[in-house]
Structure 1
Amino acid sequence: MATYGYARVSTSDQDLTVQIEALKRAGCEIVRSEKITGTTREGRTELSTLLDFIRAGDVLIVTRIDRLARSVADLQDIVRMVKSKGASLKATEQPIDTGTAAGKAFLDMLGVFAEFETNLRRERQMEGITKAKADGVYKGRKPSIDVGQIQALKAQGLGASEIAKRLRIGRASVYRLLRGEE
């Protein structure tokens, strides 16, 4: 029976120290950490390692569930995976213990709020971008594909597949740009 800790921050300029220290105080023998978004499980190799390694009787501890997942679906998947291995999940700053009915209910509620917070942040970001575009401040990133090159290759009689291959872009991008959508 082992106790593992998982710490995560979203960006490389954020610090993991507070989480790691809290997990060690909670009795974690091994603490895995990473600096990556929590909105998806893709690329979260440290979390994957813990989930692969955890065994019956083990405990996975996080400081808060938003360090583990930012969507209810991901959170439920992780909890199911931990439970299927006979392990449990706990949080140091929240009354979460998947070994109890109340702890599981609280976990589900916090998962809903974490996803809600992520969606609100995304909406605010999009509102800010829309306003910046309207004010002429934000123009988006510069196009990475030269439409002139595509048109020139098309004029030479090349098809979309060959153009995409030569320019190392997706065929759908060739079609979209030839239709004038960008």
Structure 2
Amino acid sequence: MIVGYARVSTTDQDLAVQIAALTAQGCEKIFSEKRSGTNTQRDQLSAAMDFVREGDTLLVTRLDRFARSAHDLHSLVHRLIHNGVGFRCTEQGGVDTTTSSGKLMLSMLGAVAEFETEIRKERQLEGIAAAKARGVYKGRQRATDSSTIRAMLDEGMKPGEVARSLGVSRMTVHRAKLST
């Protein structure tokens, strides 16, 4: 059985292109989710990994949809191979763990993908530093005003209640409480 896995990083992105590509390659079942690849809780990926059986092939469109680091990639692929499951990519045709050259290609592309991620992070940090130097970067806006949190605490609400009612973490409440 060919089983597909599709993932986009944000809820406003569309899975349709990946699902169409996986369907065109003969996937009989497709697991999909909208979750950042850096998030370790990828429920549908876990479900796909648990679903596949010996003789099956897990198919993805690109390696970066499956794993974010070379270590993560090799760990996931090792688990598949250990269970007798093949792994292939539609857009990176040389990646096929059922062949020796495909395994080599997988290692090389995994290293390149990790390198690209690191370069992207460096560029982002450089951009933030430049924006801060120009005075245009203010960081993310606060989730809520500290005075609002302190007022709620002064009214007798417990930190957990304040956090839930404002949709912030308990740590945010404690920081506001300490900033008095």
Match of 1:87 in 2: 85
Find the aligned partners of 2:7 and 2:172 in 1 and give their Cα distance.
Answer: 35
Find the aligned partners of 2:135 and 2:98 in 1 and give their Cα distance.
Answer: 54
Match of 2:155 in 1: none
Partners of 1:40 and 1:69 within 8 A in 2: no
Name the SS for the 1:103 alignment partner. Answer: helix
Find the aligned partners of 1:138 and 1:91 in 2 and give their Cα distance.
Answer: 39
Question: Are 1:46 and 2:69 counterparts?
Answer: no
Backbone CA RMSD of aligned residues: 2.9
Match of 1:5 in 2: 4
Name the SS for the 1:97 alignment partner. Answer: coil
Q: TM-score, normalised by structure 2?
A: 0.78
Name the SS for the 1:7 alignment partner. Answer: strand
Partners of 2:162 and 2:173 within 8 A in 1: no
Which consecutive aligned stretches of 4+ in structure 1 deviate over 2 angstroms post-superposition?
A: 39-42, 141-149, 164-177
Question: Which AA in structure 2 matches 1:66?
Answer: D
Aligned-pair CA distance for 1:102: 0.8
1:121-160 matches, cutoff 5 A: 121-142=120-141
Aligned-pair CA distance for 1:65: 1.2
Give the count of matched residue pairs.
172
Q: Give 2:56's match in structure 1, choosing from 51, 55, 58.
A: 58
Find the aligned partners of 2:17 and 2:161 in 1 and give their Cα distance.
Answer: 49
Structure 1 gaps, min length 5: 150-163
Q: Percent identity?
A: 50
Q: TM-score, normalised by structure 1?
A: 0.77
